[in-house]
Amino acid sequence: MERFVDVTPGIRLWAEQIGPEIAADAVAPDPVLLIMGANASGLAWPDALVSRLAEQHPVIRYDHRDTGRSAWAFDRHPYSVADLAEDAIAVLDAFDVERAHVVGMSMGGILVQLLLLDHPDRLLTATLLCTSALDAGLAGAAPDLPGPDPALLRLWQEMDDPRDAEREIDWRVEHWRLLNGTGTPFDPAEFRALEERIIEHTGWYDSPSAHAHADPGGLDRGAELATVDVPTLVIEAPEDPVNPPPHSGHLARAIGGARMVRVPGMGHALNATVVEPVAAAILSHAARGGEHVVSSADERV
């Protein structure tokens, strides 16, 4: 089921719900809300992962502002990164969801941390993957934690460069190759098909880059994470070239009572080889209510 969500005048978000119907019945399965990373459509959550989660839960994914079929309006309506967290609440409201298991990847993980601080009553559990703590800044800006791979930094310099359709897809596939890292196989055909589908879904091939220009103010709230009491799982991607170890460990320690699991070989991409372990970790965490275990040592999936 697809719908559009009006969040502010001039800003409309595309969203869809897959799997069991959302119901207020006490025995109905609780929904899962998926929040993707910067400049990424909700379709970047692989269908195989969504389908696996939807076997047990209603799953909601959506396009951030300036991605996919949501409003591309940054030039007319500039916003902060923190505003994108409030968009997630608007999506839950549109689907009449009081509380959900919320999963955030990359920048989506930053947004989930803001939700943990500002809207804990809307989260049943939180799962964070391929992300950094609020006190580390976007893309690991903290001086005592490693930053992104220099090859990625060089490629990001080209984000706003004009490209025709074929060159744009080539650029995006190369971006995924670097994000994937070397710990798991990279299949360029898999990611080319993904980006072709996202472009078809969007209706044009312009490179989404607004989030790189959004105001990052209001994210320096790492000290508040110790107060979090929502059951939280951190999934570590040991080959992540954006937020490499020890980012996940730092995040897990910063959040009160968080657990951490590691998906061996995983980078900053949800390729076919990591879908099942990531889905299993999310489902297990949701099922157990994310029991609080302070974890300096990590588990493997």
Domains in the chain, ordered, with CATH? 2-300 (3.40.50.1820)
Element (H, E) at 100: strand 100-105
Contacts of 108 (CB under 8 A, 6+ apart): 34, 35, 36, 37, 131
Residue from 93, 90, 66 nearest 79 by CA? 66
Catalytic residue ranges: 106, 240, 268
Rounded to the nearest integer, the mean pLDDT of the chain is 94
What span, in angstroms and rounded, lies between the C-alpha atoms of 258 and 227? 11
What span, in angstroms and rounded, lies between the C-alpha atoms of 32 and 232? 14
Q: What pLDDT, in 10s, does the model give residues 166-195?
A: 999 999 999 999 999 999 999 999 999 999
Q: What pLDDT, in 10s, does the model give residues 26-42?
A: 788 999 999 999 999 99
Give the global pTM: 0.95
Please report how the helices 107-118 and 81-94 are oriented relative to each other, as an axis angle in degrees rounded to 10: 70
pLDDT band at 151 (very low <50, low <70, confident <90, very high): very high
Residues 228-248 have a mean pLDDT of: 97
In whole angstroms, what separates CA 256 from the centre of its chain? 21
The per-residue pLDDT for 185 is 97
Residues 138-142 have a mean pLDDT of: 60
